[in-house]
Amino acid sequence: MAFGHRYTGLIDRYRDRLPVHDDTRIISLGEGNTPLIRLNNIPRELSRDVELYVKFEGLNPTGSFKDRGMTMAVTKAVEEGSKAIICASTGNTSAAAAAYAARAGITAFVVIPDGKIAMGKLAQAMMHGSVVIQIEGNFDDGMRLVKEVASAAPVTLVNSVNPFRLQGQKTAAFEIVEELGRAPDFHCLPVGNAGNITAHWIGYSELAAHSGDHVTAACTFCSGHCRYAGGGVAGQRPKMLGYQASGSAPFMRGAMVDNPDTVATAIRIGHPQSWDVAWKVREESGGWFDECTDDEILAAQKLLTEKEGIFCEPASAASVAGALRDIRAGKIPDGSSVVCTLTGHGLKDPDTAIAQASRTPIKVPAEIDAVTRAIHENMD
Ligand X SMILES: *Cc1c(COP(=O)(O)O)cnc(C)c1O
Site for ligand X, rule CB under 6 A: 64, 66, 92, 160, 190-196, 266-267, 313, 315-316, 343-344
Q: Residue 133 in contact with residue 141, Cβ under 8 Å?
A: no
In the complex, minimum distance from the CB of residue 342 to ligand X, in angstroms, rounded to a whole number? 8
- In the bound state with ligand X, the residue whose beta carbon lies nearer, of 155 and 197, is 197
In the complex, minimum distance from the CB of residue 193 to ligand X, in angstroms, rounded to a whole number? 3
231 bridge partner residues: 211
- In the bound state with ligand X, the residue whose beta carbon lies nearer, of 67 and 185, is 67
Between CA 210 and CA 219 the distance in angstroms is 8
- In the bound state with ligand X, the residue whose beta carbon lies nearer, of 193 and 336, is 193
64 bridge partner residues: 344
In the complex, minimum distance from the CB of residue 370 to ligand X, in angstroms, rounded to a whole number? 40
β-strand pairing of 288-292 with 239-245? parallel
- In the bound state with ligand X, the residue whose beta carbon lies nearer, of 86 and 222, is 86
- In the bound state with ligand X, the residue whose beta carbon lies nearer, of 95 and 183, is 95
**Dihedral of the alpha carbons of 230, 241, 38, 118, in degrees to the nearest 10:** 120
- In the bound state with ligand X, the residue whose beta carbon lies nearer, of 61 and 192, is 192
In the complex, minimum distance from the CB of residue 288 to ligand X, in angstroms, rounded to a whole number? 15
- The single-letter code of the amino acid at 177 is V
DSSP-H helix ranges across 210-272: 250-253
- In the bound state with ligand X, the residue whose beta carbon lies nearer, of 260 and 344, is 344
- In the bound state with ligand X, the residue whose beta carbon lies nearer, of 43 and 195, is 195
Q: Residue 301 in contact with residue 32, Cβ under 8 Å?
A: no
Q: How big, in percent rounded to 5, are the helix, strand and coil portions of the chain? A: 45, 15, 40
β-strand pairing of 186-190 with 239-245? parallel
In the complex, minimum distance from the CB of residue 302 to ligand X, in angstroms, rounded to a whole number? 17
Between CA 187 and CA 173 the distance in angstroms is 10
Between CA 80 and CA 331 the distance in angstroms is 47
Q: Residue 225 in contact with residue 210, Cβ under 8 Å?
A: no
In the complex, minimum distance from the CB of residue 90 to ligand X, in angstroms, rounded to a whole number? 7
Of 252, 251, 316, nearest to 278 by C-alpha is: 251
In the complex, minimum distance from the CB of residue 93 to ligand X, in angstroms, rounded to a whole number? 6
- In the bound state with ligand X, the residue whose beta carbon lies nearer, of 43 and 250, is 250
Between CA 61 and CA 202 the distance in angstroms is 23
In the complex, minimum distance from the CB of residue 374 to ligand X, in angstroms, rounded to a whole number? 35
β-strand pairing of 36-38 with 51-56? antiparallel
Q: Residue 327 in contact with residue 50, Cβ under 8 Å?
A: yes
Q: Report the residue closest to ligand X, judged by CB.
A: 344
Question: What does the radius of gyration of the chain's CA atoms come to, in whole angstroms?
Answer: 21
In the complex, minimum distance from the CB of residue 301 to ligand X, in angstroms, rounded to a whole number? 11
Q: Residue 79 in contact with residue 72, Cβ under 8 Å?
A: no
